[in-house]
Amino acid sequence: MTEQRSIDPAVCDLLEICEEDGISTVFDRADAMKACPIGAKGACCRNCSMGPCRLTKEGQVGICGATIDTIAARNFARMTAAGAAAHSDHGRGMALTLLAAATGDAPDYHVRDVRKLHEVAGFLGVETDGRETADIAKEVAEKALIEFGRQTGEIVYLQRAPRKRQQIWRELGIAPRGIDREVVDIMHRTHVGNDQSYESLLMASLRTALADGWGGSMLSTDITDILFGSPVPLVAKANMGNLSEDQVNIVIHGHEPTLSEMILVAVNDPEIIEYAKSKGAKGINLTGICCTANETLMRQGVATIGNFLSQELAIVTGAVDMMVVDIQCIMQALGPLTEKFHTLLITTSPKAHIDGVTHVNFEEHDALEIAKRIFKMGIDNFPNRREVHIPKDVNQLVVGFSHEYINYALGGFYRGSLRPLNDAVMQGRLRGVAGVVGCNNARSCHDYAHDYVVRELIKNDVLVVMTGCGAIACAKYGLLSPEAAKYAGPGLREICETVGIPPVLHLGSCVDNTRILTVLSQMATEGGLGEDISDVPGVGFAPEWMSEKAISIGTYFVASGVYTIFVSESPVRNSPAVVRFQSEVWEKRVGGKLEFIADVKESVQKALEHIDKKRAALGLPEYDPKRYGQSGDAVMLKVLEERGEEVFNLYSAKVVQSAGS
């Protein structure tokens, strides 16, 4: 039973405990709660109180006359807007933190990456010559905030896309004006009695999603890098075995790095460590879940113990003394669950409370003090621990592939460039590239589709970049370590062995999907792979999506020219017109298309066919794995190994051991 629920042995172990002890989890609730068959197809509208209207019969319309096409498109548009709002509000939070840091209102935060600050200043038209860092940071933050409230014109970051892409957006009238404006636009046009054309609703969805991808999320990534440093490769660890038997286990969960970074500072405070010892603990062990974990994993090597569907199971170990959550993807079920265990659950964001759960409001201006106060609450809870069941599973991974680092890894410090990547695709050593991202979903076997899709892609010489819960999934199965090169096809394996990278690169949290946009833009302008993102032989994948944020991400990938596959039934399937529009019409207009494919095998097949179609359109040689695997690089590695000489490996030279190991 439990094996069908997850491919993660740690999760299966803990589910057995749940079964024995009668603890209900997301997996049980998914079995008990059948999805509403009407809502699941996009056939239900509750946009006014004459409804809800359920369109179940051929030709039926809502009380106001709305057709199935309008209703499906409106529902989709609202999902996009909610996702874009969540990401963008997170980005706004980062911009406000940078502003507070620059003006001295948040004295615990500093600009850690001055080079990145200057780069972003360049994008936003902020003068840097002869100015103090704080002064530049203040104007960068102010300029970033203008992007949210911009009313007319277009958001500045669109200029980071290939020229041809920008032209497409402008000609179609989908260049976003301001980030907030586009979210409001969707909420307005989907109100009863407004936009009734599915076509216009779906085009507006593209614009709003672009405001997320090239706006709120991209700013979020940039400003997070400025404040906390651009990631560089680190060795880190994944899965539940990273919880400690004899130390205070603090788990951070959610999305924003602002609090977790302060918790990281506090964890090294001798006073806090002494305090933990005074309570009988050997020390403090910090780990993470979901995207907060990805943020601290990428920059500091903090271990991740799981993704979206493991959050309850972390508590079931009985070893978590405190779980601190901020925003997004936090299951309400954690509240009642922690009542059965000793775990202290703390909410910290004014935007995310859970009834009955202790709330400590986190404020940037007093960040470190609040972090320390929260910490002490966790330590105080250590003596209350009862029985613990910590699964042994631990996997190693290498994280920290910012787009800047990918440039450097491939081209070297003085000639950092994606040229080698483009060359590899052009020669056919790499068949193409894929971004595999997104959530877990309790309606499908936990982590199975992520693992399947990624293994198939790398076996077929497709270089994979990942973020979010998908990246955590694959980390747990060893796919993010350089040794995973052995699962790759011959061409990709050669590249991994030569450059010293894993075949699957971890690019960060879900807002960091914008790093994929940046890499794709650079590939398109580097030369040899056309002149636009839609020319690059690549695909986007969300194998286990569940959130509205995933819909926004998928839609901005489509609007940027990428064929994007969600492995599930379509949430708009009751409207063949909307389904067709998202695939055929979007492809004709923006070069990218969105398809929901329930069969995971078929989804990979379609992805590879698409990559080959793009290769053919560029006049590139047909992909032939037999041509590689015997080249000079591989032979040289073998010779060195046989002679017992140390093979130069990026990791031996540059990897900084993770904080925890």
Q: Which residues bind ligand SF4 (CB under 6 A)?
A: 45-48, 50-53, 62-64, 66, 71, 192
Based on CB atoms, which residue is closest to ligand SF4, 54 or 419?
54
- 637: partner contacted, choices ligand NFS, ligand SF4, none (Cβ within 5-8 A by kind): none
Would the CA dihedral through 347, 352, 356, 361 be positive or negative? positive
Based on CB atoms, which residue is closest to ligand NFS, 176 or 468?
468
- 471: partner contacted, choices ligand NFS, ligand SF4, none (Cβ within 5-8 A by kind): none
Based on CB atoms, which residue is closest to ligand SF4, 39 or 51?
51
One DSSP character per residue, 167-184 reads HHHHHHT-S-S-HHHHHH
Based on CB atoms, which residue is closest to ligand NFS, 333 or 618?
333
Based on CB atoms, which residue is closest to ligand SF4, 68 or 517?
68
Residue 209 beta carbon to ligand NFS: minimum distance, rounded to whole angstroms = 15
- 62: partner contacted, choices ligand NFS, ligand SF4, none (Cβ within 5-8 A by kind): ligand SF4
Residue 226 beta carbon to ligand NFS: minimum distance, rounded to whole angstroms = 20
- 63: partner contacted, choices ligand NFS, ligand SF4, none (Cβ within 5-8 A by kind): ligand SF4
Sequence-distant (6+) residues with CB within 8 A of 376 are: 272, 275
- On the 0-12 / 13-18 / 19+ scale of CB atoms within 10 A, 587 is middle
- 306: partner contacted, choices ligand NFS, ligand SF4, none (Cβ within 5-8 A by kind): none
Q: What are phi and psi of 509, to 5 degrees?
A: -85, -175
Residue 65 beta carbon to ligand SF4: minimum distance, rounded to whole angstroms = 7
Residue 243 per-residue DSSP state:
S
Distance separating alpha carbons of residues 374 and 561, to the nearest angstrom: 45
Distance separating alpha carbons of residues 525 and 533, to the nearest angstrom: 9
Based on CB atoms, which residue is closest to ligand NFS, 137 or 567?
567
CA angle at 545 for the pair 148 and 504, rounded to the nearest 5°: 90
Distance separating alpha carbons of residues 57 and 249, to the nearest angstrom: 54
**Alpha helices in 500-560, H assignment, sequence order:** 513-526, 548-559
- 45: partner contacted, choices ligand SF4, ligand NFS, none (Cβ within 5-8 A by kind): ligand SF4
Residue 185 beta carbon to ligand SF4: minimum distance, rounded to whole angstroms = 18
Based on CB atoms, which residue is closest to ligand NFS, 95 or 551?
551
- 508: partner contacted, choices ligand SF4, ligand NFS, none (Cβ within 5-8 A by kind): none
Residue 471 beta carbon to ligand NFS: minimum distance, rounded to whole angstroms = 9
Based on CB atoms, which residue is closest to ligand NFS, 162 or 438?
438
Based on CB atoms, which residue is closest to ligand NFS, 247 or 552?
552
- 47: partner contacted, choices ligand NFS, ligand SF4, none (Cβ within 5-8 A by kind): ligand SF4
Contact 280, 248 (CB under 8 A): no
Residue 68 beta carbon to ligand NFS: minimum distance, rounded to whole angstroms = 28
Residue 303 beta carbon to ligand NFS: minimum distance, rounded to whole angstroms = 16
Which of 402, 431, 380, 364 has its CA nearest to residue 626? 431
Residue 549 beta carbon to ligand NFS: minimum distance, rounded to whole angstroms = 4
What is the three-class DSSP state of 398?
strand
- 50: partner contacted, choices ligand SF4, ligand NFS, none (Cβ within 5-8 A by kind): ligand SF4
Residue 291 beta carbon to ligand NFS: minimum distance, rounded to whole angstroms = 3
Place of tokens 């990805």: 294
Residue 104 beta carbon to ligand SF4: minimum distance, rounded to whole angstroms = 50
Based on CB atoms, which residue is closest to ligand SF4, 72 or 607?
72
Which tokens go with 242?
A: 């990273």
Distance separating alpha carbons of residues 273 and 392, to the nearest angstrom: 25
Which of 80, 312, 74 has its CA nearest to residue 176? 80
- 1: partner contacted, choices ligand NFS, ligand SF4, none (Cβ within 5-8 A by kind): none
- On the 0-12 / 13-18 / 19+ scale of CB atoms within 10 A, 278 is exposed
CA angle at 158 for the pair 156 and 163, rounded to the nearest 5°: 125
Contact 15, 5 (CB under 8 A): yes
- 202: partner contacted, choices ligand SF4, ligand NFS, none (Cβ within 5-8 A by kind): none
Q: How many residues does the chain have?
A: 661
- 52: partner contacted, choices ligand SF4, ligand NFS, none (Cβ within 5-8 A by kind): ligand SF4
Q: Which run of H or of E encompasses 524? A: helix 513-526
- 457: partner contacted, choices ligand NFS, ligand SF4, none (Cβ within 5-8 A by kind): none
Residue 64 beta carbon to ligand SF4: minimum distance, rounded to whole angstroms = 3
Distance separating alpha carbons of residues 646 and 640, to the nearest angstrom: 7
Query: What type of residue sits at position 538?
Result: G
- 163: partner contacted, choices ligand SF4, ligand NFS, none (Cβ within 5-8 A by kind): none
Sequence-distant (6+) residues with CB within 8 A of 345 are: 322, 323, 325, 334, 335, 338, 354, 357, 358
Residue 512 beta carbon to ligand NFS: minimum distance, rounded to whole angstroms = 9
Q: Which run of H or of E encompasses 211? A: helix 198-211
Based on CB atoms, which residue is closest to ligand SF4, 56 or 657?
56
State the Rg of the chain over Cα: 24
Residue 440 beta carbon to ligand NFS: minimum distance, rounded to whole angstroms = 6
Q: How many helices (H) and strands (E) does the chain have?
A: 28, 16
Distance separating alpha carbons of residues 430 and 525, to the nearest angstrom: 18
Place of tokens 């960068």: 140
Based on CB atoms, which residue is closest to ligand NFS, 418 or 510?
510
List residues near ligand NFS by CB under 6 A: 255, 290-291, 307-308, 329, 438-439, 468-469, 509-510, 547, 549-550
Residue 366 beta carbon to ligand NFS: minimum distance, rounded to whole angstroms = 27
Contact 247, 141 (CB under 8 A): no
Based on CB atoms, which residue is closest to ligand NFS, 473 or 611?
473
Place of tokens 């080698």: 420
Based on CB atoms, which residue is closest to ligand SF4, 51 or 335?
51
